[in-house]
Amino acid sequence: MQRRRCRRVLGAALAGRGLPYAALGGFLAAALVQAGCAILVERFAFDAGAAARRRLRGDAMARLLAAGPAMLRGAHSGALAAVVIDRIEAVDGLFARWLPAAVVAFVVPVAVAAVALALDPIAGLILIGAGLLVPAAMALSGLGAAAAARGQFAAMARLQTRFLDRVSGIATIVLAGRAEAEAQALARAADELRRRTMRVLRVAFLSSAGLDCAAAIALIAIAVRYGGQYAAGTLASLPVALFMVLATPQFFAPLRAFAAAYQERMHAIAAAEALVDLPALPPETPPLEVRTVSAHGITIDFRDVSLSWDATRGKALDGVTFRIPAGQVVILAGPSGSGKTSIIEILLGFVRPDAGRVTFNGADIATLVPQALARLTAWVGQRPVLFAASIAENIRFAKPEASDDEVETAAEAARVVDFAILLPQGLDTVIGEGGYGLSGGQAQRIAIARAFLKDAPILLLDEPTAHLDPVTEADVLDSLKRLCLGRTTLLASHATAAHAFSARRVDLRGGRVVGTRGTA
Instruction: Say what the pLDDT of residue 435 is.
Output: 65
User: What is the share, in percent, of the chain residues with pLDDT greater than 90?
Assistant: 2
The neighbour count for residue 344, using CB atoms within 10 Å, is 21
Angle in degrees, 0-180, between the axes of helices 99-119 and 121-168, rounded to the nearest 10? 170
User: Which of the pair, 11 or 29, is modelled with greater confidence?
Assistant: 29
Q: Go through the domains of the chain in sequence order and give each one's CATH number.
A: 27-276 (1.20.1560.10), 300-517 (3.40.50.300)
pLDDT per residue over 43-70, tens digit each? 877 787 778 788 888 887 777 777 666 5
Question: What is the Cα–Cα distance from 286 to 266, expressed in whole angstroms?
Answer: 40
Q: How many CB atoms lie within 10 A of CB 43?
A: 10
- Residue 132, pLDDT score: 76
CA-to-CA separations, 376 to 17, 101, 325, in angstroms, rounded: 88, 52, 15
Element (DSSP H or E) covering residue 460: strand 458-462
Residue range 289-307: mean pLDDT, rounded: 72
The stretches of 83-175 forming alpha helices (DSSP H) are: 88-93, 99-119, 121-168, 170-175
Rounded Cα distance, 285 and 368, in Å: 9
Nearest to 475 by CA among 420, 416, 431: 416
Identify whether the C-beta of residue 372 lies closer than 8 Å to the C-beta of residue 293.
Answer: yes
What is d(CA 243, CA 113) in angstroms, rounded to the nearest whole number?
Answer: 12
Residue 42 has pLDDT above 80, yes or no: no
Predicted local confidence at residue 67, as pLDDT: 67
Q: Cβ(261)–Cβ(142) under 8 Å? A: no
Binned at pLDDT 50, 70 and 90, residue 72 comes out as low
The rounded mean pLDDT for the chain is: 77
CA 426 to chain centre: 36
pLDDT digits (tens, 9 = 90+) for 425-465: 888 888 877 666 788 888 888 989 999 998 889 999 888 87
pTM score > 0.75 for this model? no
Helices 238-276, 99-119: inter-axial angle, 10-degree rounding: 160
